[in-house]
Amino acid sequence: MFSETVELRGHIIDSLILPKVLDQILTHGANFKIGEIKIGKKRADQSFARIEVSAETSEALDELVLRLRQHGAEVAKRADAHLAKAPADGVFPPDFYVTTNQQTFVRCDGKEIEVQPAMMDSAIAVDRKKRTARAVKFFDVSKGDEIVVGHEGIRVVPVQRSTSGTDLFQFINTTIDADEPKSGIIRELARELQRARTRKSKIAMVAGPAIVRTGAGEHLVRLIESRYVDRLFAGNSFAVYDVERALFGTSLGMNPDLAFARGGHENHLRAINTIREAGGISAAVEKKILTGGVIHACVRHNVDIVLTGSIRDEGPIPGVTTDVVEAQRVMREKLVDVTHVLLLATIQHSLAVASMLAPTVKTVCVDIDPSAVERAVEHQPLQSIGLVTDVEPFLRELADCIVQAGSVSRAKK
């Protein structure tokens, strides 16, 4: 929302100018907040009101303010943000402003510019000529870039709680503990994802290796096949476990289908070698070397796979981005248009993704570790649900709901 503060002075009560201005704000689809009001005590005393007007777009706000000025509203003078030049590549000036992930505006030459994208723990670089403001990380900044310093001229608009009666996230913004029922929420989540699908919103899954190890991979495959996954974010381990499971029936040497069966740990390394030998994941699918599993389903259904590495990785399997700065850049790029994210059994990737999300992205975090869930959802306090549970029953139930609903709707047609 774009906003401007206007002031009204004069006999605004007796002349009904104050109610007229407030009514005009509302009838033009904008909102107001009265910051200050002083009513004259004696008959000839003038009154004063300071009103913050907010509208969806900068143009709508300008047009409205122009209209209000006709009725005596004057735009309150607000300070511009202070800018300082970056002293070197990758270095912010002292006292640089640190962003949250909330919608943020910078006042420059008397007008507000929205910071794009809304990204936490960044600085803000302003291009005065182009009238743009962008959230930048250290590696994005070049010597001489103009960076916002201090807090003046900055306005942060927290995400409002949804008022839609059909929105699951309106009711639940908390963590469901291990001993609490989850079926109802999972059914609601399935409906929310169905609505997202209808609106052609983008759904991302952030997958941990526990999905494969617990045997939940097949449920994720069902979601992929039902077109409920647009992006898959994971680490090297997830990919390797999934491929090992597809090639040898084990993951890190364990067979999830057999309670006590254990294979050799070497399957893990052989899986990596097979993919390397095939020339990568897609090549392995094409050559029918890799014929099952989550990664295979992603390739077959054109799901974007974003694999990022860590220091402990074996391999890595081809396709993993090992440069962490480059990995962050790719992740951000692939998250720009995402509206729903499921963080599934991976604290490391969940926290990384959660820190990059816009505050409007609806987030579900599933992990067996309560502290992992708490940490992931705290980035999205009004748009997140945490479920403390093993990921396998969660994914099984979610996939059942979605596949079942899909077959019902097909039968109706």
Partner 1 sequence: MRELLLCPPDYYGIEYEINPWMSRARGAETPLAQKQWTELHATLSDLDCKIDLVPPQPKLPDMVFTANAGLTVGRKFIPSNFRHKERADEAPHFARWMEEHGYDVSWLPNDLYFEGEGDALFCGDLLFCGYKFRSDIQSHRAIADMLGCLVISVELVDPRFYHLDTCFCPLPDGAAVWFPAAFDDYGQRAIREHVAELIDVLPEEAMHFSCNAVVLEHDIVLPEGAPKLVAALHDRGYRCHELPMSEFIKAGGACKCLTMFMPQRASV
Parallel/antiparallel/unpaired status of strands 231-235 and 320-321 = unpaired
Strand partners, 357: none
What's the closest the beta carbon of residue 360 comes to partner 1, in angstroms?
Answer: 37
Q: Which stretch binds partner 1 (CB under 8 A): 11-19, 28-36, 119-127, 228-236?
A: 11-19
Residue 98: C-alpha distances to residues 42, 149, 204, 292, 325 (Å): 48, 9, 27, 45, 19
Q: Which of 169, 186, 195, 182 is nearest to 409 (CA)?
A: 195
Integer Rg of the chain from CA: 26
Half-sphere exposure of 296 (CA within 13 A, CB side): 22
Strand partners, 342: 205, 364
Decide if 171 contacts 367 (C-beta within 8 A).
Answer: no
Q: Which is nearer to partner 1, 77 or 130 (CB)?
A: 77
Q: Is 16 in the site for partner 1 (CB under 8 A)?
A: yes
Q: Which is nearer to partner 1, 23 or 257 (CB)?
A: 23
Q: Is 6 in the site for partner 1 (CB under 8 A)?
A: no
Q: Which of 210, 206, 217 is nearest to 338 (CA)?
A: 206
Q: Is 70 in the site for partner 1 (CB under 8 A)?
A: yes
What's the closest the beta carbon of residue 61 comes to partner 1, in angstroms?
Answer: 21
User: Phi, psi at residue 231, to the nearest 5°?
Assistant: -135, 145
Encoded one letter per residue, x for contact with partner 1 by CB under 8 A and - for no contact, window 46-65 reads x-------------------
Choosing from 1, 7, 10, 393, the residue that interacts with partner 1 (CB under 8 A) is 10
Encoded one letter per residue, x for contact with partner 1 by CB under 8 A and - for no contact, window 27-46 reads ----------------xx-x
Choosing from 28, 50, 67, 71, the residue that interacts with partner 1 (CB under 8 A) is 71
What's the closest the beta carbon of residue 43 comes to partner 1, in angstroms?
Answer: 5
How many residues sit close enough to partner 1 to count as binding (CB under 8 A)? 16
3-state secondary structure of 57: coil
Q: Which is nearer to partner 1, 1 or 22 (CB)?
A: 22
Footprint of partner 1 on this chain (CB under 8 A)?
9-11, 14-17, 19-20, 43-44, 46, 70-72, 74
